[in-house]
Chains A and B, each alone.
Chain A
């Protein structure tokens, strides 16, 4: 499963770069750097997600930050329905 996932990520990225390759010559150096950086970031995140699909994501971070407010809200909800 992991190998298939990694191959899939590689295939998608390869297709993407191949598609953009034609216009690559017209990009400035800065644009090429930005393209490379974002693609690299995507590749890293994709590989991490393939290796560990349960990796804690941004929603969990938001959950942690707003836990006190959420608890307060739930207390109010329980009061209303019960």
Chain B
């Protein structure tokens, strides 16, 4: 039973995952990381342990259960009924994460730009666009990622380069003044974003050349780390001690840009980055939920259930939190723990179980 007939290349998978991790990480992590890491903010993204672990887990599943994603592998490891229960749990969790992303997207657009527009309209239109893309298949998402990753990188550089003369290198000091402790605890919140690398497990079965995926994932991890180091470094060198006072420090950085009183209000560029990135990110998560649900229900085709799932995704984005403050609070505490549990600990335990079962037989 083949649900998805499309094939995507290894670099496309890398770009999809890059855009599925970076956008929200640039937006919401610097403020939280700063609370722990202070001037070592820019070192934190380098401690990307959970990214490495997540990639290893995804490839571990792939080695023993080729052509299956880890929700399907669950069923093979735990048996039919328990596997279905775990599969449903993972799918609901992905739906929940999708809801969190849609909500973050909506709240940011409404909070920073479209102040008069109702949240439901902003997130609803995004979910509708993503539903149409997801319905068209994985190849279309991959091509969007192909195109958008360059625009994303270009706009990102356009934001950083005009700032270079205004950066004060002295704000870096003291580098690792208290050892690696602060930067390490600052990376805690980033671990949740890095564990989203596990999503690659859902994309590997569609790769036309699986061997290359490993290399492209390593490059993606490196690219994500470099992007976050760059954005955190710029934020820190420009804002210094006040980084922690803003919800979206990088937006403040973008607003600061003023070239000869001519190039101003470049936060609209940041908005473009954010919409492009969040679009691919929501598409990837939405696609994972859709394909997973179709497999879970043993459907022949996933297209019929895209719109009902989109409706659920939109509802989830409203349901997750009564207001932005509670979401931000949860994002810096309990959601991190839950992401680490669901995307790292449980899959690692399942992989261990698979290993034991293989040794047994």
User: In the complex the two chains form, is B335's CB within 8 Å of A59's CB?
Assistant: yes
**Residues of A in contact, count (CB < 8 Å):** 39
Which segment of B12-20, B76-84, B136-144, B316-324 sits at the interface? B316-324
Shortest C-beta distance, A48 to chain B (Å), equals 9
Complex Cα spacing A12 to B305, Å: 15
**Residues of B in contact, count (CB < 8 Å):** 36
Q: B255 an interface residue at 8 Å Cβ cutoff?
A: no
B-facing residues in A3-54 (Cβ within 8 Å): 12-13, 16, 19-20, 23, 27-28, 30-32, 34-35, 38-39, 41-42, 45-46, 49, 53-54
A35 neighbours in B (Cβ, 8 Å): 304-305, 308
A27 neighbours in B (Cβ, 8 Å): 301, 304
Q: A2 an interface residue at 8 Å Cβ cutoff?
A: no
B319 neighbours in A (Cβ, 8 Å): 45, 49, 55, 57-58
Which segment of B52-60, B245-253, B325-333 sits at the interface? B325-333
- Give a binary string over A61-82; 1 marks a CB under 8 Å from any B CB, 0 the rest: 0110111011001101100110
User: In the complex the two chains form, is B333's CB within 8 Å of A46's CB?
Assistant: no
- A-B pair count, CB < 8 Å, reads 100
A81 neighbours in B (Cβ, 8 Å): 35
Q: Which A residue's beta carbon lies closest to that of B103?
A: A59
Q: B30 an interface residue at 8 Å Cβ cutoff?
A: no
User: In the complex the two chains form, is B301's CB within 8 Å of A39's CB?
Assistant: no
User: In the complex the two chains form, is B338's CB within 8 Å of A65's CB?
Assistant: yes
Which residue in B294, B304, B320, B333 is a CB contact (below 8 Å) of A20?
B304
* Interface positions of A (Cβ within 8 A of B): 12-13, 16, 19-20, 23, 27-28, 30-32, 34-35, 38-39, 41-42, 45-46, 49, 53-55, 57-59, 62-63, 65-67, 69-70, 73-74, 76-77, 80-81
A-B contact pairs, 17 of them (CB 8 A): A12-B311, A23-B304, A30-B299, A31-B299, A31-B300, A46-B315, A53-B318, A58-B96, A59-B326, A62-B338, A63-B330, A65-B334, A69-B337, A70-B333, A70-B334, A73-B333, A77-B36
